[in-house]
Amino acid sequence: MFNPRDFLKTAHRLAAGDEANIRTSIGRAYYSAFLIAREWLRTQGWTIHDDTRDHMGVQLGLKQLKAG
């Protein structure tokens, strides 16, 4: 299974490059955080769909847990 933390390692490597690498680095860091948060929410009993609703579902889940 793919480890989302590998995206973060890639982001760190790319961050020292030119503008294109830096922009890609930001995307990889975001996606790493997103995947980790999604899996954590699932361990908390949340249903996160594996489709285009994923990103909104993770945002809402984190907000509700913070407010709860």
pLDDT for 68: 67
- Quickly list DSSP for 14-58: HTTS-HHHHHHHHHHHHHHHHHHHHHHHHHTT----SSTTHHHHH
Return the percentage of the chain with pLDDT > 70, whole number. Answer: 99
| Total tally of structural domains belonging to the chain | 1
Helices 19-43/54-67 angle, 10° precision: 60
Residue 1: band (very low, low, confident or very high) from pLDDT cuts 50, 70, 90: confident
Residues 35 and 14 sit within 8 Å (Cβ to Cβ) = no
**pTM (predicted TM-score):** 0.82
- Chain segment 35-67, per-residue pLDDT in tens: 999 999 999 998 887 777 788 889 999 998 887
Q: Which domain holds residue 54?
A: 5-67
C-alpha to C-alpha distance for 56 and 52, rounded to whole angstroms: 8
